[in-house]
Structure 1
Amino acid sequence: MTLEKTPPLPAAPGPSLPSAAALARARRRASVARFWRQYRTHRSGLLGLTALALIALMALLAPLLVGDDVQSVTHAPGTALESPSGQFPLGTDQFGRSLLGLLVWGSRISLTVGLLAAALSVAIGTLVGIIAGHYGRWYSTVIMRITDWFLVMPTLVLAIVLATVMSRSIWTIVVAIGVTSWPTTARLVRAQTIAIESRPYIERARALGGGHRHVMTRHVLPNVMPLVLAQTTLGISSAILTEATLAFLGLGDPTVVSWGGLLQDAREAGAVSSGHWWYLAPPGIAIACVALAFTLCGRTVEAVLNPKLGAPR
Structure 2
Amino acid sequence: MTTEATPPPDATPPTDATPPVAKDGGGGGAGAGPRALARQRRLRSVLRFWRQYRTHRAGLLGLAALVLFALTALTAPLTVGSDVAGVTGAPGRPLESPSGEFPLGTDRFGRDLLGLLVWGSRVSLLVGLLAAVLSVAIGALVGITAGHFRGAYATVMMRITDWFLVMPTLVLAIALATVMSRSLGTIVLAIGVTSWPTTARLVRAQTLAVESRPYIERAKALGGGHWHIMSRHVLPNVMPLVLAQTTLMISSSILAEATLAFLGLGDPTVVSWGGLLQEAREAGAVSSGAWWYLVPPGVAIAVVALAFTLCGRAVESVLNPRLGVAR
TM-score, structure 1 as length reference: 0.97
Q: Which amino acid aligns with 2:159?
A: R
Q: Deviations over 1:236-271 (max 9, x none)?
A: 000000000000000000000000000000000000
Structure 2 residue corresponding to 1:96, chosen from 110, 116, 139 = 110
1:311: which partner in 2?
325
Give 1:170's aligned residue: 184
Q: CA distance change for structure 1 residues 144 and 66 in 2, over 3 Å: closer, same or farther? A: same
**Matches of 1:25 and 1:53 in 2, distance apart?**
26
Task: Tell me the equivalent position of 2:28.
Answer: none
2:193 to 179, 199, 218: 179
- Counterpart CA distance in 2 for 1:41 and 1:224 is 24
Query: C-alpha distance in 1, partners of 2:129/2:214?
Result: 36
How many positions carry a matched residue from both structures?
Answer: 313
Match of 1:200 in 2: 214
Is there any run of 5+ residues in structure 2 with no aligned partner, and where? 1-5, 26-31
Output the CA distance in 2 between the equivalents of 1:114 and 1:14.
49
Paired with 1:15 and 1:264, the residues of 2 have a C-alpha distance of 65
Map Cα deviations across residues 55-110 of structure 1 (whole Å, 9 max, x no partner). Answer: 00000000011001100100210010000000000000000000000000000000
Residues 194 and 95 of structure 1: CA distance in aligned 2, closer, same or farther (over 3 Å): same
What corresponds to 2:24 in structure 1?
16
Between 201-210 and 15-24, report the one with greater CA deviation.
15-24
Q: Which residue of 1 aligns with 2:299?
A: 285
Which of residues 235, 242, 245 is equivalent to 1:228?
A: 242
* Aligned partners of 1:109 and 1:257 also within 8 Å: yes
Shift of residue 138, structure 1, vs aligned partner:
1.2
Q: Does residue 68 of structure 1 match 2:76? A: no
- 104, 117, 121: which one aligns with 2:135: 121
Tell me: CA distance 1:170–1:8, structure 2 relative to 1, closer, same or farther (3 Å). Answer: farther
Instruction: Say if 2:116 is the partner of 1:77.
Output: no
User: Does 2:64 align with 1:50?
Assistant: yes
The alpha carbon displacement at 1:14 in A equals: 6.4
Match 2:251 to one of 237, 249, 260: 237
User: Does the CA-based 8 Å contact 1:122-1:228 persist in structure 2?
Assistant: yes
SS at match of 1:129: helix
User: Structure 1 residues 225 and 13, CA, compared in 2 at 3 Å: closer, same or farther?
Assistant: closer
Q: Runs of 5+ in structure 1 lacking a partner? A: none
Q: Is the contact made by 1:44 and 1:312 (CA closer than 8 Å) also made in structure 2? A: no
Tell me if the contact between 2:183 and 2:267 (Cα under 8 Å) persists in the aligned partners: yes
Question: 1:131-190: CA deviations, max 9, x gaps?
Answer: 000011111111000000011100000000110000000000000000000000000000
Cα drift, residue 199 of structure 1: 0.3
CA distance in 2, matches of 1:120, 1:103: 26
CA distance in 2, matches of 1:295, 1:156: 19
Matches of 1:85 and 1:11, distance apart in 2: 79
Q: Distance in 1 between matches of 2:52 and 2:73?
A: 28
Superposed displacement of residue 5, structure 1: 6.9
Match among 227, 242, 252 for residue 213 of structure 1: 227
* Aligned CA distance change for structure 1 residues 13 and 176 (closer, same or farther; 3 Å): closer
Larger radius of gyration: 2
**Displacement of 1:12 after TM fit?**
9.7
Whether the aligned pair in 1 keeps the contact of 2:66 and 2:304 (CA below 8 Å) is yes
